[in-house]
């Protein structure tokens, strides 16, 4: 709690009805507890560690009298499922809970009329206790009979020395405690990033996370972290269960918020908890950002992962199939296997004692409903090792791209197989840094290696048809595709380079086809096509074929999060060799520049200047700015009106830091003609005059409780 202990809470009592007050959470063996900065005062404790409960009584318990702590979880607590627990004082329950008198705490509970005796109880949750929001009651047995008193406080019980233990403190600091991060998007060749405010310790977020668990039916019967991940994965999207976010890939966001306009998870979770209605709208990175917030808040180490060229297979062939007509034009009505420019999911770290050895570690959690491309709504938890060896979730990260051409008789034949095109540059934010880390080798073997081909064979053996073994890119003639600088509002140059490595001249027929493609891989109709014929001399001769596209030509086709897709197909006249390549081009947009115009102090407004330049040769209309940051009070979204062609806009907005320490403020600017622009600034916040240590809701120095302990229980950090 940032070095400051919360004061006990007291509730009105009638005689012989004890009150409960949470005592401070003892620090763990590793110095992580001081980094947890919940901006309100919940009792959040770790499984496997002891915490203290104060019971106010009118007199000490006499011989023959007893006290029992009762804990219940969920709407229908059951003893058999470990969600209804009775823990006698001085004893343990069959579930592993223990309650012992703690004479090492010597302080009054004060403020409760007629109850002057303080009984402090050390309560320990087992490392396997279900995760969730508990109700805590006290039963007393005296000569007058048995009495029961329920605490009005709600206690979240989660632990350290359990299946989410991580060895490195740096990993724990990043994957559990870090409240801000970066989510990568764009294309394989043009990786972009956006700041994201996870805000797992912000007011109302823990309540929202526990509400999500409750709405999802809780998770008392399975290994808790695995089931928590499954419940959260299902509940973050609204498919079938009225979860947190409504997915929308149509481009029409008039009934809600453009997914690209969100700067973080906090507003989404508060809205869902406050209304109980799904929030409109989300796409993959929004689902993943919210999952990171929820799982980190609940203590599961979680990272946000981006996969480029992420395949979605519609016929379970476990290949990505592209169909061409006789003239080598793409047949988009048949090209239902979409390759997403990027797809964002989560990894969460846990041990899996319920599975055979080797399944511990990162588990893949994907909360994005896949109905936009595959007609199914499956989301859930994948075992990392099965992705690596090719037995599940495989199509996303490692499959062959197979090109089929329509023949004269109407059937299709495989004319080209492109290996290694799927699952590229899998990225996440490095622990303790602001840099992108490539984790592709954690998901699959090196491309072209014997192990990688073995994994591909293992996967395709489970497909709906045998593996296709058509021609690969090997041959006398090679084809590569590329582009010049791709800037929104500017002219675009696309190119194909063909090279003859043979000893004889070769004649090529090339076809260029250009269309807009959503990041989900759904392509529009081709708006530009060209044919070219080239003759290449032998012995390493090469030629470059270019196609230039103006802003006026591509602008009507490119929408939010769209890219341009160039398909180049070539046929060698003399040998019949067929080559094909696809290129995704993301149009670069300017970043927002954020600058603090004064010192940042807790509780004091500070102006922030936002600067950006409109790159388009036309006015930018309907622009609005949204800000979000953990431990920062931000203004509501503000309308900016119209920004002229090429105009530079400077806007000042005031924010108020609420917690001391390092903070990051993220901003997004939404408009009609450009994808939302993003930017962020990181800064340090000084404490206020009252000695604020950075956690609102904590008592001041004068309100700290003096305690003496006989010792601190050991424990390992794990979230």
557 given a catalytic annotation: no
Active-site residue identified among 343, 515, 634, 692: 343
Question: Residues 559, 290, 216, CA angle at the centre, nearest 5°?
Answer: 120
Q: Residues forming the annotated binding site for Ca(2+)?
A: 398, 400, 447, 452
DSSP H/E element including 86: strand 84-88
Find the helix packing angle between 224-236 and 205-215, rounded to 10°: 90
Q: How far apart are CA 274 and CA 289, in angstroms?
A: 19
Q: How far apart are CA 642 and CA 622, in angstroms?
A: 6
Cis before 112? omega within 30: no
Check residue 176 and report its DSSP letter: I
Of the candidates 140, 138, 150, 131, the residue with the CA atom closest to the CA atom of residue 214: 131
* 438: phi then psi, degrees, rounded to nearest 5: -85, 120
Structure tokens at 134: 């508990």
Active-site residue identified among 102, 337, 366, 562: 366
115 given a catalytic annotation: no
Burial of 5 (0-12, 13-18, 19+ CB in 10 A): middle
CB 549 within 8 A of CB 596: no
DSSP H/E element including 439: none
What are 485-489's contacts with CB under 8 Å, separation 24+? 485/588, 486/190, 486/585, 486/586, 486/587, 486/588, 487/587, 487/588, 487/615, 488/587, 488/588, 488/589, 488/615, 488/616, 488/674, 489/551, 489/615, 489/616, 489/617
Write the DSSP assignment of 357-401 as a string of letters: TT--EEEEEE-S-THHHHS----EEEEHHHHHHTSSSHHHHS--E
Structure tokens at 132: 């969730």
DSSP H/E element including 290: helix 284-297
Active-site residue identified among 284, 297, 348, 634: 284
588 given a catalytic annotation: no
Q: How far apart are the first and last CA of the chain?
A: 14
Q: How far apart are CA 645 and CA 411, in angstroms?
A: 51
Q: Is 686 helix (H, G, I), strand (E, B) or coil?
A: strand
CB 291 within 8 A of CB 302: yes
Of the candidates 207, 400, 399, 235, the residue with the CA atom closest to the CA atom of residue 297: 207
Q: Is 713 helix (H, G, I), strand (E, B) or coil?
A: coil
Residues for the chain: how many in total? 719
Of the candidates 533, 524, 530, 529, the residue with the CA atom closest to the CA atom of residue 558: 524
CB 508 within 8 A of CB 533: yes
DSSP H/E element including 463: none
Q: How far apart are CA 508 and CA 703, in angstroms?
A: 82
Q: Residues forming the annotated binding site?
A: 398, 400, 447, 452
Q: Which active-site residues does the annotation give?
A: 284, 343, 366
């Amino acid at each position: 709690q940032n070095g400051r202990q919360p004061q006990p809470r007291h509730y009105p009592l009638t005689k012989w009805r004890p009150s409960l007050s949470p005592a401070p959470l003892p620090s763990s063996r590793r110095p992580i507890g001081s980094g947890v900065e919940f901006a309100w005062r919940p009792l959040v404790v770790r499984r496997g560690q002891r915490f203290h409960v104060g019971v106010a009584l009118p007199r000490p318990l006499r011989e023959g009298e007893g006290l029992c702590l009762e804990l219940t979880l969920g709407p229908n607590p059951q003893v058999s499922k470990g969600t209804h627990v009775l823990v006698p004082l001085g004893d343990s329950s069959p579930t592993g809970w223990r309650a012992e008198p703690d004479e090492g705490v010597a302080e009054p509970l004060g403020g409760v009329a007629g109850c002057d005796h303080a009984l402090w109880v050390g309560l320990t949750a087992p490392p396997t206790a279900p995760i969730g929001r508990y109700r805590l009651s006290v039963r007393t047995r005296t000569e007058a009979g048995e009495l029961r008193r329920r605490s009005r406080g709600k206690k979240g019980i989660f632990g350290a020395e359990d299946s989410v233990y991580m060895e490195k403190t740096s990993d724990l600091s990043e994957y559990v405690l870090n409240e801000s991060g970066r989510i990568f998007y764009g294309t394989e060749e043009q990786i972009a990033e956006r700041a994201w405010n996870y805000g797992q310790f912000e007011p109302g977020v823990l309540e929202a996370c526990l509400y999500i668990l409750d709405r999802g039916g809780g998770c008392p019967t399975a290994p808790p972290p695995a089931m928590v991940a499954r419940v959260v994965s299902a509940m973050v999207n609204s498919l079938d269960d009225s979860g947190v976010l409504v997915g929308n890939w149509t481009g029409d966001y008039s009934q809600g918020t453009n997914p690209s306009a969100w700067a973080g998870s906090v507003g989404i979770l508060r809205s869902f908890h406050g209304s109980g209605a799904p929030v409109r709208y989300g796409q993959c990175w929004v689902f993943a950002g919210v999952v990171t917030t929820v799982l980190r808040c609940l203590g599961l180490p979680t990272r946000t992962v981006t996969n480029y060229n992420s395949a979605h297979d519609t016929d379970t062939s476990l290949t990505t199939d592209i169909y061409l007509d006789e003239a080598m034009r793409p047949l988009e009505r048949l090209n239902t296997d979409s390759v997403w420019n990027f797809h964002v999911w989560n990894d969460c770290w846990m041990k899996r004692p319920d599975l055979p050895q080797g399944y511990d570690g990162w588990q893949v959690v994907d909360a994005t409903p896949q109905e936009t491309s595959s007609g199914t709504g499956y989301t859930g938890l994948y075992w990392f090792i099965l992705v690596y060896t090719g037995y599940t979730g495989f199509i996303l990260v490692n499959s062959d791209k197979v090109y089929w051409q329509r023949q004269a008789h109407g059937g299709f034949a495989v004319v080209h197989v492109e290996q290694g095109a799927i699952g590229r540059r899998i990225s996440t934010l490095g622990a303790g840094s602001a840099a992108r880390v490539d984790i592709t080798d954690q998901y699959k073997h090196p491309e072209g290696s014997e192990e990688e081909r073995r994994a591909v064979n293992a996967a395709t053996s489970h497909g709906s048809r045998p593996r296709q073994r058509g021609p690969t890119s090997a041959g006398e003639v090679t084809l590569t595709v590329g582009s010049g600088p791709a800037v929104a509002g500017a002219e675009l140059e696309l190119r194909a380079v063909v090279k003859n490595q043979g000893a004889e001249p070769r004649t090529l027929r090339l076809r260029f086809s250009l269309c807009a493609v959503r990041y989900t891989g759904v392509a529009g109709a081709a708006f530009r096509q060209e044919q070219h014929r080239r003759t290449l001399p032998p012995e390493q001769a090469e030629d470059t074929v270019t196609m230039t596209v103006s802003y006026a030509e591509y602008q009507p086709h490119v929408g939010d999060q769209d890219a341009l897709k160039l398909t180049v197909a070539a046929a060698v006249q003399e040998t019949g060799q067929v080559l094909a390549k696809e290129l995704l081009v993301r149009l670069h947009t300017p970043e927002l520049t954020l600058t603090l115009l004064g010192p940042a102090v807790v509780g004091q407004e500070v102006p922030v200047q936002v600067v950006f330049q409109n790159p388009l040769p036309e006015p930018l209309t309907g622009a609005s700015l949204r800000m979000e940051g953990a431990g920062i009070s931000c203004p509501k979204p503000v309308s900016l009106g119209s920004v002229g062609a090429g105009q530079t806009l400077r806007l000042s907005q005031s924010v108020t830091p609420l917690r001391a320490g390092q903070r990051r403020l993220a901003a997004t600017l939404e408009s009609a003609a450009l994808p939302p622009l993003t930017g962020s600034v990181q800064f340090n916040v000084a404490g206020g005059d009252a000695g604020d240590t950075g956690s609102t809701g904590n008592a001041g120095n004068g309100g700290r409780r003096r305690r003496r302990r006989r010792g601190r229980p050991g424990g390992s950090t794990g979230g």
